Structure 1
Amino acid sequence: MNNLNDPPRWNIEPDQRGREGGDGNHWNYALLVPMLGLAAFRWIWTRDSQNEIQKVKVQYDTDVSTIKSEMESRYRDTLTESRRAVATLELELEKEKQRVKGYQQALVSHSQRLIQERKQLEQEREALNDEKRKSVKSGIAGAALRDALEREASWYQRAAATLRDLEGLLVERQNAYCSLIQPRDHRLEMEKNMLLKVVKDPVAAELGLESDLKDIFKRDKHCADLMNMDKRKNGSLMWVYLKYWQLQITLQRHRRAEEAVFEGRTQSPEK
């Protein structure tokens, strides 16, 4: 069997020829080969590592460039959508401004028309008063007219009571419109009940108040400031209509009395 402690030519031995310190001994060759191998390994490993690093850098730059391009594209798309949305909102806002302006102009025009009608009614009332005074001076005709006016007093009182009720309901309706806490459905229910009331009431129907109420509900959007505690400071168009209605029932009373006198439905005190 082989001696493991002394394998043949496995161990590095000094030069058997007795040369000491020579450059060509086995010891120097034995060290040179591993060092050359290690150097070659390090050179190969370094070159491969540099190649891998370079590949990673190139891939990283490529990925970063791709992500940057995608983010820029998304940013441009988002910016375009935002600008489009802003343009759309500005267009809608301009439309709303024009619509509000149109409402305001219509309200001013309608208010002016009501004022003109009010002036006309006042002129007609003044003319009727003149006729009344002339009739009173004429004796029998004046007495007949006074009698007719007395007979129409009950109708006038009913009409005035109807207007007072409508005034209170309109004040409450406008307060509900201006309130920040009362629901819209509650106000709509109030408007519906008011329209039913004027349709069923003979006096209101005779005065034709239904269309006037609808006009108020549609156009009267005036509210006092938020700190206001007086409900009667709300509304604008409704107060014009209320004055117009009051003049209307006064004029209607005189017309009804005149018709009664002309048609002989009343008698003077001398008869």
Structure 2
Amino acid sequence: MNNLNDPPRWNIQPEQGGGEAGAGGGHQWNYALLVPMLGLAAFRWIWTRDSQNEIQKVKVQYDKDVSVIKSKMEARYRDTLTESRRAVAMLELELEKEQQRVKGYQQALVSHSQHLIQERKKLEQEREALNDEKQKLVKSGAAGAALRDALEREAEWHQRASATLRELEGLLVERQNAYCSLIQPRDQRLEMEKNMLLKVVKNPVAAELGLESDLQDIFKRDKHCADLMNMDKRKNGSLMWVYLKYWQLQITLQKHKRAEEAIFDGRIQGHGK
């Protein structure tokens, strides 16, 4: 067995003897240091080369991944941009259609209002003509007495018609307020409109005046609302007020026509006969 206190010759000794110390001992020590240093250098070179290869592979793979992600992001951006432009184009088209529709409604409302104004002027002219005719009849003695009797008989009908219009005016004010309200449900307004139509259909006076179609026209066309700070309900609506004035003239004219028909039909006789 090897003696650890006296190792073989391959164990490096700093000095082997006096004669050999100066000759070969130093070279053995230098060689012993050179071998591990060369091994370490070789290991470092191999490790560095493998590390660089691994780093290069990682860099190449990273560049590929970044390129793929970049391509996907660019494609997604182009798709999103295309969709956004398409959506903007569609919104612009819808906006233009709505603007044209509103413009058409406004023109129709103006035209309809002008038509009603003309009708009202016509009714006023007819009323003035009837008033002139009434004055002539009043001055003619018996015919005048007959006309007075006929007008008195139609006064009750006129009062009922006027009361119907006053009630309808209040309902229209509330309906228009519901239309202009930002918090009142739409279903509530539709229910109000339905009840109003049923009321005028069942009311003989309203049916005689033909108010049902006029109300439907108001519900369809009157979209006027006062400003948001308005607290006066009667400032809402535009077409409805034109119709109310038209209806008032209509019942006045109808009163005189009913009286005239009563005289011509012989239901009213003059006091002189």
TM-score normalised to structure 2 length: 0.94
The range that moved more, 85-94 or 12-21, is 12-21
SS in 2 for 1:60: helix
Please point out which of 134, 158, 182 is paired with 2:184.
Answer: 182
* Distance in 2 separating the partners of 1:141 and 1:21: 170
* Distance in 2 separating the partners of 1:129 and 1:136: 10
Q: Deviations over 1:178-221 (max 9, x none)?
A: 12222111111111111111000000000000000011111111
SS in 2 for 1:161: helix
Please point out which of 102, 121, 124 is paired with 1:100.
Answer: 102
* Distance in 1 separating the partners of 2:145 and 2:81: 86
**5 Å matches for 1:1-271?**
1-13=1-13, 14=15, 18-22=19-23, 25-271=27-273
The letter for the 2-side match of 1:251 is: L
The range that moved more, 35-44 or 203-212, is 35-44
The letter for the 1-side match of 2:36 is: P
Q: Deviations over 1:97-147 (max 9, x none)?
A: 111111001000000100111111111111111111121222222221111
Q: Deviations over 1:150-172 (max 9, x none)?
A: 11111111101100110111111
* Distance in 2 separating the partners of 1:136 and 1:25: 159
* Distance in 2 separating the partners of 1:250 and 1:85: 57
What root-mean-square deviation, in Å, do the aligned CA atoms of Structure 1 and Structure 2 show? 1.6
* Distance in 2 separating the partners of 1:178 and 1:241: 19
* Distance in 1 separating the partners of 2:245 and 2:209: 13
The letter for the 2-side match of 1:200 is: K
User: How far 1:88 moved relative to its partner?
Assistant: 1.0
SS in 1 for 2:270: coil
* Distance in 1 separating the partners of 2:118 and 2:219: 21
SS in 1 for 2:254: helix
User: How far 1:28 moved relative to its partner?
Assistant: 2.3
User: How far 1:56 moved relative to its partner?
Assistant: 1.4
Identity between Structure 1 and Structure 2 (%): 86
* Distance in 1 separating the partners of 2:272 and 2:155: 21
Contact 1:15–1:25 (8 Å) recurs in 2:
no
SS in 1 for 2:19: coil
The range that moved more, 171-180 or 240-249, is 171-180
Contact 1:136–1:143 (8 Å) recurs in 2:
yes
Kindly tell me the number of residue pairs found equivalent between the two proteins. Answer: 271
TM-score normalised to structure 1 length: 0.95
* Distance in 2 separating the partners of 1:3 and 1:72: 77
The letter for the 2-side match of 1:106 is: A
* Distance in 1 separating the partners of 2:168 and 2:23: 133
Q: Deviations over 1:45-87 (max 9, x none)?
A: 1111111111111111221122111111111111111111111
SS in 1 for 2:57: helix
